[in-house]
Structure 1
Amino acid sequence: MSVNLQYVVDFLVSLVNIPSPSGNTEKVIRFIEEECARLGIENKRNNKDGLVLTVPGKNNDVHRVLTAHVDTLGAMVKEIKGNGRIKLTLIGGFAYNAIEGEYCQIETADGKLYTGTIQSTHASVHVYKDTSTHERNQSTMEIRLDAVVKNADDVRELGIEVGDFISFAPRCEVTETGFIKTRHLDDKASVACMFGALKTVLDSGEQLPYTTHFLISNNEEIGYGANSNIPPETVEFLAIDMGAIGEGQTTDEFCVSICAKDSSGPYHYGMRKHLVELAKANGLNYAVDIYPYYGSDASAAMKAGVDVKHGLIGPGIDASHSMERTHKTSLENSVKLIVAYLQSDLV
């Protein structure tokens, strides 16, 4: 199985450099639509402005759905303070310390962009005795705008208002040792792997055994990305999302992770065993894991009552919801498992 790994990495770098916090994903969806047009893949928007790609298969009576989400963590303007600083409200589940000191971008309703830095209100050790112990929360964190503003009126004159979206600088690097370190590998790494698998299948010229839909969801970080738009013919639903790494986990930055259970409960046992068998048969580096504080688009679909067998795989990502990192070999193993699954029989 030959995978164009450079395509996957290049596509990933492009994705992470397009701001797309949940609720404001138009630019990245348009980018993916353009790639679909280039590859000749049929696609359409759903009412949530997610994207559904369809590849016809030999069997059109039963379908498969694969999903990965392109929305990311982010924030919104919560309040414009009297001193010209900005309070945030978070989009997605992450800790304030994960974004302290990070560069950010505010997008106004009319499309103007302003940069700034996220920091504690007690950032200076030369002024505040409690800089290191000061609690980091919505009340004690703020954005320092890169604009000459001294009060709230100055900020509003720029066009910034409550509800404007805030995105975090990805600071993406691909190292000589094969690591990709950046924000938002969750879940743009999986979107890149999905497209790597699609390109592999299309380049082979072989028709898939079953009609397959690829759902690019854009609200996963807030809980309801791929819980709808599932064709009634669908019998299997595979989410592609990051594999969680940490103490007690078997997943690392070099393997494809296969999830047995997350906070929503066990994934379909037959589906999981099928994925493990495919990984073994193709000589892939894989790990089976349980993600204790995690939910996916597949678990969201289950809660919505979708009647399918559900599974979850993805590249191993270190430091999830912070400054994340994976390795090219993890992407490669993930792409190969997706291709093997697409070409396999139903569970």
Structure 2
Amino acid sequence: MTYPNAKETVQLIKDLVSIPSPSGNTYEVISFVENFLSELKVETKRNRKGGLIATIPGKDQGTHRMLTAHVDTLGAMVKEIKSNGRLKLDLIGGFRYNSIEGEYCEIETATGEKITGTILMHQTSVHVYKDAGKAERNQDNMEVRIDAKVHSAKEVRELGIEVGDFVSFDPRVQILPNGYIKSRHLDDKASVGILLELIKQIVTEQIELPYTTHFLISNNEEIGYGGNSNITPETVEYLAVDMGAMGDGQTTDEYTVSICVKDASGPYHYGFRKKLVEIAKENDVDYKLDIYPYYGSDASAAIRSGNDIVHGLIGPGIDSSHAFERTHISSIENTTKLLYHYLQSS
């Protein structure tokens, strides 16, 4: 049995994380995915929110499945242009200021120009500020140092920067010889890469799916509503392919596929969960069951929106989620294998 080449998937993930796409500004990465699928001659359409839906007809066209992964990422917006020529930020998505301290960033102006900078504490210099190490990392104390000769709000505006401009973070992606992938935004571009390579294999090998299957590449998951719409009335099963969160008390690791049994929204569908476990066992897929206490997915958003569906959540294990993330090619492989067999299951 042949699965999608994991090394090719990892290279695709590298391409995806290198495209800035904070929630609210995802046009470029959606276009990238759209072009990828267009070359495969897969039917796609954009929804009004800017997400992309790809559809592969199945043997049974009266029963549908939907899988979703999201390309939107954490990011920020210019909240204020300060009198010293620096920028105050407002965060997009659920993370903490300490996780972006010292990070390179990019400000995209309304005209599309991109200007680089660095996110720093105002009190960074230990030679000047006595409380440099103790000051709270928050909106008031952190700022963007723009890579331009500016000393006032007027000079910043002359560059074209204004309140509301999107700020993206340098992914700092690295693919290591021992199989580790380090990068920001593996949540959830690792899963997007997995789905795209699976679609490629289905199309090129002319694999007939048992049911018509929709793949939603959503673009507002980090702010809570990416995959809550455009679900056909025929859709029975809805599977979010996101990430497994790691930490104290968690079973998820960087080498297996994580099957979520419950998150902040409550339990996922018990029957669907057991079905995924059965598929994993039958096909020698390494998996872990886990609960994510401070987590919500596109599948839980779809349930909250009133859709009458069976919902589930799986994904590769990601260390240090919403910060300096890392996974391993083994987790990519196991997630791919589970999805490969699920898509062909009855």
The TM-score normalised by the length of structure 2 is 0.99
Q: Secondary structure at the match of 2:271?
A: helix
Percent identity over paired residues: 64
1:54 maps to amino acid: T
**What is the aligned partner in structure 1 of residue 228 from structure 2?**
227
What RMSD, in angstroms, separates the aligned Cα atoms of the two structures? 0.7
Q: Secondary structure at the match of 2:222?
A: helix
Count of residue pairs the alignment pairs up: 345
* Alignment partners' CA distance in 1, 2:81 and 2:172: 27
**What is the aligned partner in structure 1 of residue 132 from structure 2?**
131
**What is the aligned partner in structure 2 of residue 46 from structure 1?**
47
Verify the 8 A CA contact 1:57 1:208 in the aligned structure 2. Answer: yes
| 1:334 aligns to 2:343 (yes or no) | no
CA-CA distance at 1:7 after TM superposition = 2.0
* Alignment partners' CA distance in 2, 1:33 and 1:201: 17
CA-CA distance at 1:197 after TM superposition = 1.8
**What is the aligned partner in structure 1 of residue 305 from structure 2?**
304
Task: Could you list the structure 1 runs, at least 4 aligned residues long, displaced by more than 6 angstroms after superposition.
Answer: none
Verify the 8 A CA contact 1:104 1:167 in the aligned structure 2. Answer: yes
List gaps (5 residues or longer) in structure 2: none
* Alignment partners' CA distance in 2, 1:285 and 1:202: 26
* Alignment partners' CA distance in 1, 2:35 and 2:315: 24
* Alignment partners' CA distance in 1, 2:95 and 2:106: 18
Q: Could you give the per-residue CA deviations for residues 112-166 of structure 1, whole angstroms, max 9, x where no partner exists?
A: 1100000101101111111111001111110000000010000000000000000
CA-CA distance at 1:6 after TM superposition = 2.2
List gaps (5 residues or longer) in structure 1: none
Report matched runs for 1:211-222 at 5 Å: 211-222=212-223
Verify the 8 A CA contact 1:4 1:200 in the aligned structure 2. Answer: no
CA-CA distance at 1:217 after TM superposition = 0.3
Report matched runs for 1:5-84 at 5 Å: 5-84=6-85
* Alignment partners' CA distance in 2, 1:228 and 1:135: 39
CA-CA distance at 1:263 after TM superposition = 0.2
CA-CA distance at 1:203 after TM superposition = 3.2
Q: Could you give the per-residue CA deviations for residues 175-223 of structure 1, whole angstroms, max 9, x where no partner exists?
A: 0111000000000001011112222322332210000000000000000
Verify the 8 A CA contact 1:87 1:142 in the aligned structure 2. Answer: yes
Verify the 8 A CA contact 1:200 1:339 in the aligned structure 2. Answer: no
2:16 maps to amino acid: L
* Alignment partners' CA distance in 2, 1:83 and 1:264: 43
Q: Secondary structure at the match of 2:156?
A: helix
**What is the aligned partner in structure 2 of residue 158 from structure 1?**
159
**What is the aligned partner in structure 1 of residue 146 from structure 2?**
145
Q: Could you give the per-residue CA deviations for residues 68-109 of structure 1, whole angstroms, max 9, x where no partner exists?
A: 000000000000000000000000000000000000000000
Bigger Cα displacement from structure 2, 32-41 vs 73-82 = 32-41
